Structure 1
Amino acid sequence: MKSLRPLALVLALAFPFSGFPNSAPPTPPAAPNGSPAPTALALPAAAEPSLKVDPALRTGTLPNGLRYAIYPNKEPQGRASLRLVVQAGSLHETEEQRGLAHFLEHMAFNGSTNYPPGTLVEFFQRMGMSFGGDTNAFTSFDRTQYMLELPRTDEPTLAEGLRVLSDYAGGLLLLDEEIDRERGVILNEKRARDNVGYRIFVAQFGFMLNEARLPQRLPIGLEPVIEQARRDRFVDFWETWYRPERMIVVAVGDFDVAQVEAQIRETFTPLAAKAPARPLPDMGRVPDFQGLRVFYHHEPEAPSTTVSLTWLTPYADEPDSAQKRLAALPRDLALEILNRRFTELARKEGAPFAAGRAYVGDYFHFVTEAELSISTTAEHWSAALGVADKELRRALQFGFRPEELAEVVAEYRSVLEQAVRRAPTRHSSQLSNELAEALHKGEIFAHPEAHLELFSEALSRLTPEDCLAALRETFSGRGHYISVMGNSVIGDPGEPAPDAARAAIRDVYVASQREPVSPPEALHQTEWAYHYWGEPGRVVSDERVADLDLRLIRFANGVRLNLKKTGFEKGVIKVALRVGEGKLCEPAEQYPGIGVVAAGLFNLGGLGAHDPDELRRLLAGHTVSSGFRVELDAFTLAGETTRDDLQLQLQIMAAQLTDVGLRPEALRELHKDINQMYRGFAHTTNGPLATEVARFVMGGDPRFGLPPKEVLLSRTPEEAREWLTEPLAQGPLEVAIVGDFDPEATIAAVAGTLGALPPRRERRALDERKQVRFPEKPFNKNYRIPTEIDKGELRVYWPTTDGIDVQRRRRLALLGAVLNDRLRVKVREEIGGSYSPRAMSQASEVFPGYGSMQAACIVDPAQAGMITDLIVEIGDDLARNGVSADELERARQPVMTSIRESLRSNDYWLHSVLADAQEKPESLDWARTRERDFESITAEELSELARTYLGAARASRVIVLPEAK
């Protein structure tokens, strides 16, 4: 019943077009609705474009008005995704019901016609569905959506899933005792989601839309309503708005469409409205003014300041169409060019901001927002405001260069083409969400081929002038807002004077507007520097593993290559490299924090011959990526590509191993991130947990946890280079490639890049670096943080042992799942003490003898001690009384579903099997035995582990609370 944060569904974070990642491009989103757009791409009437609904989609409407949509899809095989969209949310609440739309979503899991209270989650678990993963829901302003991921698609399972949705729609019991029990859960969800970012959003939202209903109906609601509302208010909302004509049922999966359609008709045709319909609420109005309105909000605990320029206009209601999407294209590309300019500016020496972006979005058929937002530090707000103003005016005055447009067009086209390649193996969960979204918003659900056909010609004809015209229409006309929000103190900090602060902000903006702007600088063009790596490497061994359909190859230079060709994701190839010994050889005693800094510099610095901006331009239109991490026993690089770009992907990775760009400008960018992170640590529970506790539970080893900020900031690119050069250039290297590739072409591509590198040394044992120990005696640690946000966080640790023995690791993991479910029942359901308590096993595969069982939750500070005691008691009860057969099955069945699905997952084969298949050949046996071994686990085995490790005398506690006021 995880409800999405309002912040994620409203103006502050939603944006239609955030750029084109070089890896895993998603299906292009529908163009945003209703904002002004130029007519430069209008076609003659004879060539009027069209966008047709995906022909595989079957839709219908029942006699009672309920709509349904069914889409056949093969991935994951044998599974189905079901959605129930109720087109009612917090906007439909009365003043006395504020928060009940969301509360009602929770109550759907607490008793209905076919599922008595306390039985539904357990029923799901026995079916092989995990709570929160396969069963979930969210509430927004204008809808409530329920989601099920069914483990099978046989007729009884589909019938059961539809019966659950039917109970949500028309069979809720809404018992008084269950409502009272859930109040604490809702209040703790509100507490868990409370943070400075949310508080800033609420303040700005209310200021800008002060004449609208939206700010008065945040989905989480009001505490007095949550605490006191009686059953009749719930019933009134449910019977009024949970009406069949306001519902959509979506089914996507590996099933027979006709059968599912018949089941939907049989299940939902009897559904009837229980009360008369009411008129839709008055949404209010979008403020209409000329000139400027200034908003200032000081949030002293914020880690940064956000400066924004915002234009709000009433939503222009018009049907979705090809013409509408084409009209938005020039604006979207203009915004992307502007965003890339901000990225480049943020890297320059002395840049007064960390990041910036421009976006446009439409919300709830009510308002269209165009915004330019800059993240900066408290002292640089005025300079950042100047950057926002000048860069927008620079674009509006001088437009865009042809090469800038060519870059974003290439990326956009690449996204479209990759979406077409991936279409046959899209996952049902993704498709069901997209389909539910489209039907709810009244948008056309088209196949990726239709998107490509629609936009291809338009992209070819698009000009910089088209983009400039679109940008001018977007940021013109009505008045706009200037906002400065966060930790900036404007004026006398001892005597807050909002009027004076607003006047100072206005003065800075007006002064900036008087300053002229010059055309953008010409872009520096370069040639790709990493084409040739020497004579291709020679294959010295090639072993085929028939039962797992793998190839294990070794080159003469010592590079190991592991291959698995799959059809799980059409057009996708995933590549992973493991090199060196990672954190095991981190010189933390000499350079505390070097691992964090080295990883940051590596990912931000580009390559030796190409800085990040040159690299982005060179790679425009190509599907390549590579992310670097410092793992416990290796450095890893992971990326995603296609057949056409595999050679380029491997050239990039070879260059990263031999010529990574640990640049000073990357250090500047990283320092901005580090400073912001530590400012956040000062006022959140993350502070002591990420610094002191993370190191303490690893026996004080300086490789773990974060050092003081000034120590981290003292690390240099030279130190990172000194540490990384030898292992990257000479360390053991194992390459795993999984996906839709040509095997012989792939081997040749590796031979010409990684196989052509100088010889690699063998892996070092480094046994002396593996001596990590959990603290010998149980400990109690208590921390206080200065914050006005009333929430605490707690951790309970039980030392266990390592997971080097895979059978023991699996059993500890299943015991962790049992403990996690007991926390759900005891801490969440029975006492409402936390929204999302969780527990899991952490059994090391690197450090002999090291492991722990961990439990954590966010709580009311006043209840922290009591809930910590309860968690210890829950563990102790497991130790004394063991695991029941039913608990074992409810923990095991979701794991079995996950195992079966993972067999068709590229990520599973890449990271869990092939990543180190030659270094650790036992991993192949782990893959062979996984399903059988989990099936063989007994309740007595888990009970024995619980007796060994979970007794109260072994528990350690960490509690982080706000400072006493």
Structure 2
Amino acid sequence: MVKTIQTFTARLLCLAAALFFFSTLNAQFNLNDKIAVDSNVIVGKLSNGLTYYIRQNKKPENKVELRLVVNAGSVLEDSSQQGLAHFMEHMNFNGLKHFPKNEIVNYLQSIGVKFGADLNAYTGFDETVYILPIPSDDAAKLDSGFTILEDWAGNALLDTAEINKERGVVLEESRLGKGAGERMRTKYFPELFNGSLYAKRLPIGIDDTLKNFKPATLERFYKTWYRPDLQAVVVVGDIDPAVAKQKIEEHFSHFTNPANEVPRPSIIPIPMRTQNKAMVLTDKEQTNTILQVFNYVEKDTPVVTWNDYRQSITEGLFNAIIGQRLRELTQQANPPFLFAGTSFQEFIRGYRAFTSFIFLGDKPVQAAIDSVTKITEGVKKYGFLQSELDRAKLSLLNQTESAYKDADKTESSRFVDGYVNSFLEGTPITGIANRYKFLQQVLPTITLAEVNAVAKKMESTQGKFALLMAPDNAKDLPTDEGLLTALNDAYKQPITAYTENAVGTSLLDKQPVAGKITSEKKNAELGTTDITLSNGISVTLKPTTFKNNEIQFDGWRWGGYQNFPLADKFSAQNAASIIQSMGVSNMSPTDIGKFMAGKTAGVQPYINTSEEGIQGSCNVKDVETMLQLLYLYATAPRRDDNLFKAFISSQKAFIQNIQANPNSYFSDTLTKVMYNNNPWASGIPKPADYDAINLDAVMAVYKKIYSNMYGMHFTFVGNINVDSIKPLLALYLGSLPGKQKENKFTDVGLRPVKGVKDFTVQKGNEPRSTVNIIFTGDAKFSYEDALKLDMLTEVMNIKIIEQLREAMSGIYGGGMGGLITARPYNHYSVTVRFPCAPENVDTLTKALFVIIKDVQQNGVAATYLEKVKANIREQYATDIKNNDYWLSNLSSAFIDKQNPDWILKYNEAAQAVTPKDIQEAAVKYLNMNNYIKAVLMPEK
């Protein structure tokens, strides 16, 4: 391979010149002009002040994304209302003018909208946003969607009985957040926000207020802040914009603002910090050491003109380059941290900050600070290299070009957040076409001197706030004063200029010798082409038009790490990840990353319990690069002792204290009990497990698997030209080593315990419990039975939410999930999980068992099953036009030796499932004589 940085730089300069020529011919952006709203978006305002955003978008078809955005969150609460902005969000699902009690959820489930996954909402410090995807091919359903938004905006009933029922649900949500993070947050938020109101108005609120507030207090918040001049309706999807506008006018024009409305502050003041401050906090349940340094906080400057946008691009390039330098430090034999970042970023509404974040693991604090400071000070003193800036520009342009090429195939949900942010924070709606064209024009004009000048913004006369959070058993932690000293001492170290090695101009030293295509067969119904190569590799090609600029692949066969001796378990289990951390051929991951500037292609080998393979994705223009990477991962895994040590060091540091977290400890204990301490069971690894990994064994495992690719089946899905890709497949896949052999996995005899097993784990300080119930047993795998199990669990989830959450107010979230598999033996597993108060464990568990028994003995009402079918219909209509769905199901059909025609028959089969099928599935898979019940309880 020829490596010359001059050649690479010349290529970049040629591209830059071409861009400059293009932009000169097509210049259309005056930097002093205000950024106009994307012409694809209609932005308007009703006479009462309500703002609306409308965009017609036909992906997915027959669906529209609706949002109600309320410019009011927890920071607007008074002292008696703490937590009520969020509580109000809950009440908008528990009694509306047109949907009393819980009818909103009931109705939406009946038309295929799933609670939680589809229908949702969130409350932040400054805003509350309601989320509703709705079918748009039925006028009645569409109008109901707008009616729901209308009710959310101003027609909440706030019934006292419903409020009192919901207290328990919200308190359970509060319970979920309790732990090390919450305990430390209570201590550092006042300092982080420097006495601002934000420190006293966390969205979840105060438990005492949630238990005892009067309904009138909630109603006062609602009537004060839920008003049209603080609200926006966002409509994106398969809908005529004229119809959308008409619906908005019909449903929202009648709302009025209060006569004596309370002004909504544009921003909440945060005092400037005048002195440096540090806090070192420890907690017995904290799993890792994390350092955050807020160098300064300042009022954000809005992006109004194209020149403002150009400046934000310049800062983005700065962030990207400094981030790359920090990533390179993690590839030392003993890295100074697990990962780190330093950048300009949004802090809170109306403010931004220059921050550094260091995830230390068990690394020394001073060494980590020194390493990051050496990077930032080096940038201040010496600046960046031109080659670094060139690569950052190429990467940014490539990312934007990719989005531009798929503009007409972008999902509606991906547009929504931009319009929400425009309403709440005034961010411009440039549109991808304008953004791409502007980058083509402006990127060549951004100089290295300009990007280097951004470093001056790292300096400030403000005081810093440094926060170190660590496990209470962490060694050699500084005091608060010691942390400030460490930060100051870091500036005293000598600073040297950054250098880099030459970047390769190609991945391969020489072209491989192509194999041959020995057979080709088309499946007209599936739209696929199946080919076989001379080395025993088979390929399925599925050309689609779902995305213009996306190709994905997955190649796998039976095998896996359980084919190797138990003594090599961790070496085999981690072999693929370790190889990826070391690179391929004579290129490290850093070298590969630099070579890939301006390209989009990635490849990842994997080794699971009973499968082994390699997967990846790319843009259309980079398909050959992706295949070259695939070829190298199979034929030229790179050995690097230092990067191996870096991998082991980082993994050990990451998991060293992970079992201090009660949920992690509980999960690990459950695995041990469930499999009777079988060493093949995959619990949470320990540092000693990583010490047992041997690089010689890793290389031997990896080469044994990938040095013979016979029997590997590759599935390619996306914007594929079959005739164009076939020669590339013959060259890069057909040339892989392949010698006939039997591909198989090993059944190591790992089985769950039989009978009823009931045990309790005591861990954690907070009054919080988790119930896990796992049903297991033998069952022959088939697509039909897997579908019935899935539908059973969905029916049960509706019932669990109805009873345990809505009727009993005992949980916030929880549910059931299940699977059937033929590997390594035919069996099923169904898990029910829900967090709750310790005192409610027995009551809620009994209620769950009553539901199960009722379904087994009496079946389910057709209405429950119809809700599940409706959701499957809606989801299938979207999935069947999705590359991910086709890749997953075509690949699974091969590995499971099933007929891939099921992809086309799935929805039809689901609609044919009967209540009797669900009842029989409940009897079969929820065997009350064979389950494990594990309960996490707090320590006494």
Match for residue 468 of structure 2? 484
Residue 399, structure 1, aligned to residue 383, structure 2: yes
Structure 1 letter corresponding to 2:134: L
- Over the aligned positions, Cα root-mean-square deviation in angstroms equals 2.5
Q: Match for 1:758 among 718, 737, 757? A: 737
Q: Match for 2:915 among 919, 924, 939? A: 939
CA contact (8 A) 2:551 2:720 kept: yes
Structure 2 letter corresponding to 1:77: E
Residues 701/346 of structure 1: CA separation in 2 closer, same or farther (3 Å cut): closer
Indicate the SS of the match to 1:528: coil
Match for residue 597 of structure 2? 620
Residue 835, structure 1, aligned to residue 816, structure 2: no
CA contact (8 A) 2:655 2:687 kept: no
Q: What is the TM-score of this pair, normalised by structure 2?
A: 0.92
Residues 689/340 of structure 1: CA separation in 2 closer, same or farther (3 Å cut): same
Higher mean C-alpha displacement, 388-397 vs 248-257: 388-397
Residue 72, structure 1, aligned to residue 56, structure 2: yes
Shift of residue 274 of structure 1? 5.5
Shift of residue 282 of structure 1? 9.2
Provide Cα deviations, 1:633-669, integer angstroms capped at 9, x if missing partner. 3223222211210000011011112222354314423
Higher mean C-alpha displacement, 736-745 vs 315-324: 315-324
Indicate the SS of the match to 1:842: strand
Partners of 1:294 and 1:788 lie apart in 2 by 26
Q: Match for 2:299 among 315, 332, 353? A: 315
Shift of residue 694 of structure 1? 6.4
Partners of 2:162 and 2:134 lie apart in 1 by 26
CA contact (8 A) 1:294 1:481 kept: yes
Q: Aligned runs of 1:226-237 on 2, under 5 Å?
A: 226-237=210-221
Shift of residue 533 of structure 1? 4.5
Provide Cα deviations, 1:311-344, integer angstroms capped at 9, x if missing partner. 2333145453312111122222112111111111
Shift of residue 939 of structure 1? 0.1
Q: Match for 1:287 among 238, 256, 271? A: 271
Partners of 2:739 and 2:871 lie apart in 1 by 42
Match for residue 21 of structure 2? none
Provide Cα deviations, 1:495-551, integer angstroms capped at 9, x if missing partner. xxxxx8122222223332222211113334334342644222211111111111111
Q: Match for 2:627 among 650, 667, 676? A: 650
Match for residue 667 of structure 2? 689
Q: What is the TM-score of this pair, normalised by structure 1?
A: 0.90
Shift of residue 568 of structure 1? 0.8
Provide Cα deviations, 1:698-719, integer angstroms capped at 9, x if missing partner. 9936053345441243112222
CA contact (8 A) 1:51 1:450 kept: no
Shift of residue 211 of structure 1? 2.5
Match for residue 526 of structure 1? 504
Residue 804, structure 1, aligned to residue 781, structure 2: yes
Residues 902/697 of structure 1: CA separation in 2 closer, same or farther (3 Å cut): farther
CA contact (8 A) 1:413 1:621 kept: yes
Shift of residue 692 of structure 1? 4.8
Residue 603, structure 1, aligned to residue 587, structure 2: no
CA contact (8 A) 1:793 1:959 kept: yes
Partners of 1:45 and 1:876 lie apart in 2 by 68
Indicate the SS of the match to 1:164: helix
Partners of 2:453 and 2:230 lie apart in 1 by 39
Q: Aligned runs of 1:268-307 on 2, under 5 Å?
A: 268-273=252-257, 276-280=260-264, 285-290=269-274, 292-307=276-291
Q: Aligned runs of 1:498-517 on 2, under 5 Å?
A: 501-517=479-495
Match for residue 8 of structure 2? none
CA contact (8 A) 1:377 1:488 kept: no
Q: Match for 2:546 among 568, 582, 600? A: 568
Partners of 2:529 and 2:791 lie apart in 1 by 32
Shift of residue 747 of structure 1? 1.4
Structure 1 letter corresponding to 2:131: M
Partners of 1:334 and 1:387 lie apart in 2 by 18
Match for residue 15 of structure 2? none
Match for residue 906 of structure 1? 883
Q: Match for 1:213 among 197, 201, 216? A: 197
Q: Aligned runs of 1:667-682 on 2, under 5 Å?
A: 667-682=645-660
Q: Match for 1:924 among 878, 900, 912? A: 900
CA contact (8 A) 1:698 1:772 kept: no
Match for residue 748 of structure 1? 727
Match for residue 332 of structure 1? 316
Residue 99, structure 1, aligned to residue 75, structure 2: no
Q: Match for 1:86 among 67, 70, 78? A: 70
Residue 872, structure 1, aligned to residue 872, structure 2: no
Shift of residue 232 of structure 1? 0.4
Indicate the SS of the match to 1:705: coil
Indicate the SS of the match to 2:842: helix
Partners of 2:385 and 2:563 lie apart in 1 by 47
Q: Match for 1:950 among 926, 932, 940? A: 926
Indicate the SS of the match to 1:96: coil
Structure 2 letter corresponding to 1:885: A
CA contact (8 A) 1:394 1:517 kept: yes
Match for residue 520 of structure 2? 542
Residues 840/46 of structure 1: CA separation in 2 closer, same or farther (3 Å cut): closer
Q: Match for 1:245 among 220, 229, 232? A: 229
Match for residue 889 of structure 1? 866
Q: Match for 1:203 among 187, 202, 211? A: 187
Q: Match for 1:161 among 119, 123, 145? A: 145
Structure 1 letter corresponding to 2:133: E
Provide Cα deviations, 1:229-272, integer angstroms capped at 9, x if missing partner. 12101110111110011111111111211112111211111223
Partners of 1:783 and 1:962 lie apart in 2 by 8
Indicate the SS of the match to 2:491: helix
Shift of residue 470 of structure 1? 1.0
Shift of residue 958 of structure 1? 0.9
Match for residue 17 of structure 2? none
Residue 343, structure 1, aligned to residue 327, structure 2: yes
Indicate the SS of the match to 2:747: helix
Q: Match for 1:781 among 759, 767, 770? A: 759
Q: Match for 2:427 among 443, 447, 457? A: 443
Higher mean C-alpha displacement, 550-559 vs 44-53: 44-53
CA contact (8 A) 2:59 2:410 kept: yes
Match for residue 25 of structure 1? none
Residue 427, structure 1, aligned to residue 411, structure 2: yes
Provide Cα deviations, 1:781-834, integer angstroms capped at 9, x if missing partner. 22222x334322221112244462111111011111111122111222122222
Indicate the SS of the match to 2:47: coil
Match for residue 962 of structure 1? 938
CA contact (8 A) 2:544 2:719 kept: yes
Provide Cα deviations, 1:619-642, integer angstroms capped at 9, x if missing partner. 111001123333343223222211
CA contact (8 A) 1:414 1:623 kept: yes
Partners of 1:226 and 1:389 lie apart in 2 by 44
Provide Cα deviations, 1:367-387, integer angstroms capped at 9, x if missing partner. 221101111135611221222
Residues 138/605 of structure 1: CA separation in 2 closer, same or farther (3 Å cut): same
Partners of 1:404 and 1:603 lie apart in 2 by 23
CA contact (8 A) 1:602 1:662 kept: yes
Partners of 1:918 and 1:950 lie apart in 2 by 29
Residues 745/94 of structure 1: CA separation in 2 closer, same or farther (3 Å cut): same
Partners of 1:150 and 1:805 lie apart in 2 by 32
Match for residue 61 of structure 1? 45
Q: Match for 2:93 among 109, 116, 124? A: 109
Structure 2 letter corresponding to 1:857: F
Indicate the SS of the match to 2:908: helix
Shift of residue 170 of structure 1? 1.2
Provide Cα deviations, 1:915-964, integer angstroms capped at 9, x if missing partner. 25556563312113211111110001111121233253333201122321
Provide Cα deviations, 1:138-168, integer angstroms capped at 9, x if missing partner. 1111111111111343322210100111111
Higher mean C-alpha displacement, 795-804 vs 442-451: 795-804
Q: Aligned runs of 1:131-150 on 2, under 5 Å?
A: 131-150=115-134
Gaps of 5+ in 1: 1-42, 494-499
